[in-house]
């Protein structure tokens, strides 16, 4: 809900549209050492990509 309100200015978009954009970001972010994780029932968190640290 926060993403819809703050990023898309409450535009009339489906939650699936947000999921699709998050999916695209998840593919790109590891290139810069970041990742997005989903916290069930809470939302998304931007984190360092632990796979690159290994």
pTM listed for this prediction: 0.64
Average pLDDT, the chain: 83
With a pLDDT cut of 70, the percent of the chain lying above it is 91
**Rounded Cα distance, 5 and 42, in Å:** 15
Minimal CA–CA distance to 4: which of 44, 46, 38? Answer: 44
Whether the per-residue pLDDT at 54 is higher than 60: the answer is no
First to last CA, the chain: 33
């Amino acid at each position: 809900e926060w993403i819809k309100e703050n990023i898309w200015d409450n535009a009339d978009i489906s939650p699936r549209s947000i999921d699709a954009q998050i999916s695209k970001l998840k593919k790109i972010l590891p290139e810069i050492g970041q990742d997005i994780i989903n916290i069930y029932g809470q939302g998304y968190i931007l984190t360092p990509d632990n796979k690159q640290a290994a």
